[in-house]
């Protein structure tokens, strides 16, 4: 709770509706208002056109209105979600100019490291505070967790270790006076407490996915011959000969509207691939979610157990997810990815895989995909995810008025 007379402004994640103060801001001609419009690349003609603006344009307008209030505290919820890297850079510079107290909720590691001075994490119902940017805070958390696990193991509290049971049984068999009962009680209490701590740590460590399937290497390399494809009525996307080999992790980047999803669809329609590949689109429809639940329900107990393990290692409780009446888009995406991985595909294609995912899930997915031995193609605006995962990059960009190109970066 924020107390006192501080002016607090909240900038929501959703951009479905325009801010109430939008018209007033756009009709203000002060030096400060012009500076904000220039900083966020806001155009005068955007007034009254909210319904036809892109998500990135709406977000920039939304932030401009929020910053114009010159509040003491600014709370911003996922400001870079769904934005391309150009729009992300604009948002970062605008937020960096804010002089008050900023509270930022985000799964964007690049944004967090660029702006944050303090980090608050919520882990297993516990609020943890760090006086550092996110990356350093995460390192401190991981080191502390590793130390706790090491200490517990050194105390011999592995669930498979029988030494504690022997101590308890020894206290029972050799009990000679009333003190032995107290010894037994303390021993049992200690064993229970350490076991509970161990269970908690085990759950936090039960992450990451090891791929044990055999990759069909004879399917590689996959080649896409030099060509041009139609994007719009008079616009083409042209690219050189491109190839994907086993083990390649190809990041596909570019601003919104340059044809990334169209290019991926063309790739899938064109390649000659003998075996099924896993493709997960940017958004999951209600019908897809319904079909997914039906297919999971039809799995035998062994396959369902493997699926639940995969979902857990992506940071979620599969049983709770399936029992939920309205699972979040991020949870549905994890279930869909886990279901696809059960088939051990040689090729995985993901369109914006980090959309709707919390930060912990993104890190777990990133780690899992690093272990994957097949070929991976993924579209992303998440700069950190791209840099950590890619072995090469296909960057789509606009070169001429009616032509877009693909540049391969190794």
Residue 172: its pLDDT value, please?
A: 45
Residue position matching structure tokens 């997960």: 280
Higher-confidence residue of 2 and 342: namely 342
| 15 and 47 inside one domain | yes
Range in 36-40, 113-117, 310-314 the model is least confident about: 310-314
CATH code of residue 37: 3.40.50.300
Q: 235 Cβ partners below 8 Å, 6+ apart?
A: 402, 403, 404
Identify whether 49 is part of a domain: yes
Taking only the tens place, the pLDDT of each residue in 155-172 is: 765 545 555 545 545 544
The domain total for the chain is 3
Residues 243 and 390 grouped into a single domain: yes
Same domain, 64 and 196: no
pLDDT digits (tens, 9 = 90+) for 181-191: 555 455 556 55
Does pTM surpass 0.85?
no
Q: Which of 29-33, 66-70, 210-214 has the lowest mean pLDDT?
A: 210-214
pLDDT at 124 over 50: yes
225 and 161 in one domain? no
Q: Is residue 136 part of a domain?
A: no
Cα–Cα distance measured from residue 351 to residue 274, given in angstroms and rounded to the nearest whole number: 22
- Single out the residue in 143, 171, 205 at which a domain terminates: 205
Q: Is residue 304 part of a domain?
A: yes
Of 89, 115, 141, the last residue of a domain is 115
Same domain for 26 and 61 = yes
Domain assignment present for residue 126? The answer is no
**Is the pLDDT confidence value at 362 over 80?**
yes
Of 13-17, 186-190, 241-245, 376-380, the one with minimum mean pLDDT is 186-190
Same-domain check for residues 304 and 201: no
- By residue range, what is the domain housing residue 38? 8-115
Whether 279 is in a domain gets the answer yes
Q: What is the pLDDT of residues 271-320, one digit of tens each?
A: 877 667 899 988 888 888 888 888 988 989 899 899 888 888 888 887 78
What percent of the chain lies above the pLDDT cut of 90?
Answer: 43
Among candidate residues 143, 173, 205, the one where a domain is terminated: 205
For range 195-207, the mean pLDDT: 51
Looking at the structure, tell me whether residues 186 and 258 fall in a common domain.
no
Same domain, 79 and 184: no
Do 234 and 188 share a domain, yes or no?
A: no
Band of the pLDDT at 55, cuts 50, 70, 90? confident
Residue 384 lies in a domain: yes
Paired tokens of 198: 């161990």
In this structure, are 246 and 366 located in the same domain? yes
Question: Is there a single domain that holds both residue 244 and residue 385?
Answer: yes
Asked if residue 236 and residue 87 are part of one domain, the reply reads: no
Q: Decide if pLDDT at 92 tops 90.
A: yes
Q: Tell me the average pLDDT across 96-105.
A: 95
**Is 194 within a domain?**
yes
Strand 227-232 relative to strand 403-409, pairing:
unpaired
Residue 211 lies in a domain: no
Give the pLDDT of residue 65. Answer: 96
């Amino acid at each position: 709770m924020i107390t006192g007379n501080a002016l607090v402004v909240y900038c929501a994640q959703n951009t479905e509706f325009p801010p109430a103060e939008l018209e007033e801001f756009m009709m203000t001609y002060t030096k400060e208002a012009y500076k904000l419009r220039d900083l966020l690349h806001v155009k005068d003609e955007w007034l009254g056109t909210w319904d036809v603006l892109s998500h990135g344009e709406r977000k920039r307008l939304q932030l401009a209105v929020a910053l114009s209030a010159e509040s003491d505290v600014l709370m911003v919820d996922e400001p870079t979600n769904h934005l391309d890297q150009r729009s992300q850079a604009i948002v970062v510079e605008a937020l960096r100019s804010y002089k008050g107290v900023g509270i930022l909720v985000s799964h964007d590691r690049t944004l967090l490291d660029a702006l944050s001075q303090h980090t608050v994490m919520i882990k297993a119902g516990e609020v943890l505070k760090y006086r550092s940017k996110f990356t350093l805070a995460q390192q401190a958390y991981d080191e502390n967790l590793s130390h706790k696990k090491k200490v517990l193991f050194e105390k011999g509290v592995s669930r498979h270790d029988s030494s504690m049971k022997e101590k308890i049984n020894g206290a029972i068999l050799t009990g000679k006076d009333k003190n032995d009962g107290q010894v037994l009680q303390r021993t049992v209490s200690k064993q229970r407490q350490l076991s509970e701590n161990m269970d908690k740590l085990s759950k936090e460590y039960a992450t990451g996915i090891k791929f044990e399937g055999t990759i069909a290497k004879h399917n590689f390399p996959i080649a896409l011959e030099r060509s041009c494809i139609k994007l719009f009525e008079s616009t083409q996307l042209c690219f050189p000969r491109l190839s994907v080999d086993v083990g390649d992790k190809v990041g596909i980047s570019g601003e919104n509207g340059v044809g990334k999803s169209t290019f991926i669809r063309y790739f899938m329609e064109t390649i000659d691939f003998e075996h099924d590949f896993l493709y997960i689109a940017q958004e999951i429809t209600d019908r897809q979610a319904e079909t997914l639940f039906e297919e999971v329900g039809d799995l035998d107990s062994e396959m369902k157990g493997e699926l639940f393990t995969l979902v857990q290692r992506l940071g979620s409780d599969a049983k709770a997810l399936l029992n939920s009446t309205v699972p979040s888009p991020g949870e549905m995406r994890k279930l869909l990815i886990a279901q696809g991985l059960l088939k051990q595909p040689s090729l995985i294609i993901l369109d914006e895989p980090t959309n709707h995912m919390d930060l912990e899930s993104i890190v777990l997915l990133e780690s899992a995909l690093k272990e994957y031995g097949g070929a991976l193609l993924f579209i992303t605006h998440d700069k950190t995810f791209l840099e950590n995962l890619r072995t090469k990059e296909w960057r789509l960009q606009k070169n001429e008025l009616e032509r877009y190109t693909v540049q391969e970066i190794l």
